Structure 1
Amino acid sequence: MTKILILEDDDFIRQQLAGILQEKGYLVVEAASVGQFNNIYEQEEAVIDVFLLDVYLPDGNGFDVCRKIREHGSQIIIFLTSCDDEDSIIKGLDCGGDDYVVKPFRVAELVSRIMANVRRISGGTDIYKDGTLTVDFKNKSIIHADKQICVSPTEFHVLEILINNKGLIVRRDTFFQKMWDRYGTFVEDNTLTVTVSRLKTKLGNREDGRAYIETIRGIGYRWKIN
């Protein structure tokens, strides 16, 4: 069972979120300060799967806590904070965060992002389905509304990275690293922009009119969860 630690100094938000996550079947540990976090972390580091971190805390900040976690492990880290400026989001991802959720947030969206991260760590499958869209990673084929969609190898690589991190923000430099390391494909900044734009056009929208890919200006892209 997935175990989540919530580091949040607002008692109402922390306790309400803990109750909802427990109802969803998660084990939850709470900390209202960095001091409380340190005490729990020293005892339960190895058994915590997901960390939900606020940024501004009475005795420290979530960025430093994130760095500490990253020094010892690769657990999932999601920032849950009212800091919605671009610099804070970039800083959170740079210091090791997997995702960044801005308050006020929808609980259903947060749970979906937690599940997406857990699936990413656990590994994916060869077939991905999202409504009328089917992606076969093994055979590198895409079917949308019963029609074959032709994409370039680079476009498929971008699509695969987005789907494997669905619901999460994938930074532009992450695309460069992953595509160079895994595929031996060099992608420049402008090339990535054009590639994503073409991919959006080819995929179109879901049946309800929502796009599959969301652009996070100045940061990267996200595959929106249906």
Structure 2
Amino acid sequence: MDDTRILVVEDDADINEVVCERLGRDGYACVSAYSGSEARMALERATDAGKPYDLVVTDLMLPGISGDRLVAGLRESGSGVPVVVISARGAVDDRIGLLRLGADDYLVKPFDLDELSARIGAQLRGRGYADGAEPAGGGARAAAPDDGHTVLEIGRWRLDIDAHTFRIDDGPVSLTNIEFAIIELLMNHPDTVFSKRQVYELCWGEPYTVDDNTVTAHISKIRAKLRASGTDGYIRTVWGLGVKLTVPR
């Protein structure tokens, strides 16, 4: 694990130091950056040297280049490095916007260091890292068909975002708008655990104010539609935490 390199981007020196110290105890090699501009230069140098970072932890309110622009720049360049955002901006729209922009997870300040560590571990495991191993692959891949549509593929699943179609092998599966949004969320972030609150806020696009069975019911309906294909097991319940898409190996 000590070969796993994490870039910590935070202009508050005390927070930066505390995060790096904690992640260092977990066995990660951390590098600090105190502005978005410094972070971008560090990322470019690492890529040029053939040793790109394995994960980025970044604040949003940064000197120079903002965290939002840093995330957008990474995704526009084609980088798939996982990004965990830590920010005092906790509004639903902020979280939804950052995840849609390409961030992989989002913690609101003040955050618990144990939770940050757990979420980083989940992101790295989801990309096949174990004790410093290289990524094993198997996550969602974007395809670019002749019609230019954005397509996600995992295992036997194929989601055409532009045509709003979902297929298993060559067979179409009919989904409601909400069911499609849930599948899209999970396929965009394989092996990432989403709580019921996160699924609701990201797929319904509104604050989650009541703990009811709405999300559970929709997940159950999706699984029922997948059962005939034998791929209902792709969606796993992580008891006490939420649901995730398990990447088939």
Q: Which amino acid aligns with 1:27?
A: A
Identity of matched residues, %: 24
Greater fraction of residues in helix: 1
Residue type at the aligned position of 1:214: K
C-alpha distance 188-112 of structure 1, shift in aligned 2 (>3 A): same
- In structure 1, what is the equivalent of residue 82 of structure 2? 76
Residue 39, structure 1, aligned to residue 41, structure 2: yes
Secondary structure of the equivalent of 1:79?
A: strand
Question: Deviation digits for residues 121-145 of structure 1, max 9, x if unmatched?
Answer: 1189xxxxxxxxxxxxxxxxxxxxx
Residues 213/13 of structure 1: CA separation in 2 closer, same or farther (3 Å cut): closer
Q: CA deviation at 1:68?
A: 1.3
Structure 1's 78 and 19: CA in aligned 2 closer, same or farther, altered over 3 A? Answer: same
The amino acid that maps onto 2:52 is V
Shift of 1:191: 5.0
Matches of 1:9 and 1:176 in 2, distance apart?
40
Query: 1:54·1:62 contact (CA, 8 Å) conserved in 2?
Result: yes
Deviation (angstroms), 1:176: 8.8
TM-superposed deviation, 1:25:
0.2
Q: How many residues align?
A: 160
Deviations 1:154-197 (A, max 9, x none): xxxxxxx9xxxxxxxxxxxxx9969925564332135579xxxx
Normalising to structure 1: TM-score of the pair? 0.61
TM-score w.r.t. length of structure 2: 0.56
Show the counterpart of 1:21. 23
Q: Which residue of 2 aligns with 1:168?
A: none
Q: Which has the higher strand share?
A: 1
Residue matched to 1:88:
94
Structure 1 residue 219 corresponds to structure 2 residue 202: yes
Other structure's SS at 1:37 match: helix
Secondary structure, counterpart of 2:196 in structure 1: strand
Q: Structure 1: where are the runs of 5+ without partners?
A: 125-160, 162-174, 194-211
CA contact (8 A) 2:96 2:201 kept: no
Q: Equivalents in 1 of 2:105, 2:31: separation in Å?
A: 20
- Which of the residues 106, 111, 117 maps onto 2:112? 106
> Which is further off, 45-54 or 97-106?
45-54
Q: Does 1:5 align with 2:10?
A: no
Aligned residues of 1:176 and 1:186 also touching (Cα < 8 A):
no
- Structure 1 distance, partners of 2:53, 2:43, is 8
Contact kept, 8 Å, 1:53 with 1:80, in 2: the verdict is: yes
- State the SS of the aligned residue for 2:201: coil
* Counterpart amino acid of residue 120 in structure 1: G
1:55 — aligned with what?
Answer: 60
1:105: Cα distance to partner? 0.8
- In structure 2, what is the equivalent of residue 189 of structure 1? 177
SS in 2 for 1:219: helix
